[in-house]
């Protein structure tokens, strides 16, 4: 009776019966999905492969069968750290990567400064896009293109072969490796420096000029210290891929300038000594981690990328 009376009252007033709002997903699903998916990708494609390589580095190689033995053995690291050959290769890798980094700094700093301080801000976006455009082309394709330029009877010799004393046959030399590194990874040096230059406080430069400071002293006392975070970021970001690269030395370098990346690739692909190759990879990874620690210690990331 009460139910029918309530139904008549609702019909008389014309009010629709209240509906419950649809039940959606629990509130914790969205944050877990937004955080869990990237973490799962990093674990699956970065952390787990590194763990596997670390485990392989403690395996040994059976001399009779050539197969890996699942025993805990530190002989691979002992060989890496005590062998004169690997120490020389590691030192050579530091030399080539360091020389390429300094050369890239000399080329990139004027370009980044002109882009960030001298160019009209309305045109900076287009020029930055032109700096990034080479990254849209395959790294291997860009490296292969230098073979036709630097080889004997190549484009460089056809264009500048008439200059007396100018070396034009640079293929399979250290100079070719340095050129390849600078060309391939130069945007990694330009962009952080450009960001630092763009964030410069122009009033400080004007104050130095008003106080009678010559341009070279203003650069050394004001501009360079303020853009130093971008320089440090560029140095680290450029050095790391050069240090671990093997494609550029393989295609452009000679047999006397093998880098550590080439040795690791040989251990995995030709010698089939995976434990030793894994130990070399872990040593290289630790060096890269130290480089990143230096980067985050001395470079203000917020100031660089503003």
Give the pLDDT confidence score for residue 157 in this predicted structure: 79
pLDDT of residue 6: 44
The token pair at 209 is 């000029």
pLDDT given at position 56: 92
| pLDDT value of position 10 | 46
Neighbours of 69 (CB within 10 A): 11
Angle, CA 214 vertex, CA 211 and CA 218 arms, to 5°: 80
Q: Is 65 exposed, middle or buried (0-12, 13-18, 19+ CB in 10 A)?
A: exposed
- Domain architecture of the chain: domains with CATH: 85-305 (1.10.3720.10)
Euclidean distance between CA atoms 215 and 221, whole angstroms: 10
Mean pLDDT by 10 residues, the chain (306 residues): 47 53 60 79 89 92 81 88 91 94 96 89 88 87 90 81 78 92 94 90 84 86 87 90 91 86 91 92 90 72 53
In whole angstroms, give the CA distance from residue 138 to residue 180.
13
Q: What is the pLDDT of residue 193?
A: 93
pLDDT value of residue 25: 57
| 60 DSSP β-pair partners | 69
Residue corresponding to tokens 């250290």? 174
Largest CA distance in the chain: 114
CA distance 139 to 136: 9
pLDDT at residue number 152: 83
């Amino acid at each position: 009776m009460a139910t029918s009376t309530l139904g008549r009252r609702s019909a008389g007033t014309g009010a629709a019966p209240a509906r419950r709002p649809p039940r959606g997903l629990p509130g914790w699903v969205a944050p877990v999905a937004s955080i869990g998916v990237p973490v799962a990708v990093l674990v699956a494609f970065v952390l787990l492969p590194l763990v596997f390589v670390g485990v392989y580095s403690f395996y040994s190689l059976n001399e009779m069968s050539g197969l890996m033995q699942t025993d805990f053995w530190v002989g691979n690291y002992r060989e890496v750290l005590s062998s004169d050959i690997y120490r020389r290769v590691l030192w050579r890798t530091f030399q080539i990567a360091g020389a390429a980094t300094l050369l890239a700094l000399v080329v990139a700093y004027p370009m980044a400064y002109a882009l960030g301080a001298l160019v009209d801000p309305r045109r900076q976006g287009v020029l930055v896009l032109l700096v990034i455009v080479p990254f849209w082309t395959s790294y291997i394709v860009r490296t292969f293109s230098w073979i036709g330029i630097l080889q004997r009877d190549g484009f460089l010799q056809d264009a500048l072969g008439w200059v007396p004393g100018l070396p034009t046959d640079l293929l399979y030399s250290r100079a070719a490796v340095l050129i390849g590194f600078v060309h391939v990874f130069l945007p990694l040096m330009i962009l952080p420096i450009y960001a630092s230059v763009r964030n410069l406080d122009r009033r400080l430069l004007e104050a130095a000029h008003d106080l009678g400071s010559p341009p070279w002293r203003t650069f050394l006392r004001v501009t360079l210290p303020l853009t130093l975070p971008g320089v440090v970021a560029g140095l680290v970001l450029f050095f790391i891929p050069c240090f671990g690269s093997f494609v550029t030395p393989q295609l452009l370098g000679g047999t006397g300038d093998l880098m550590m990346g080439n040795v690791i690739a040989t251990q995995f692909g030709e010698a089939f000594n995976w434990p030793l190759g894994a130990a070399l990879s872990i040593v290289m990874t630790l060096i890269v981690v130290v480089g990143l620690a230096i980067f985050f210690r001395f470079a203000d990331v917020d100031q660089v990328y503003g």
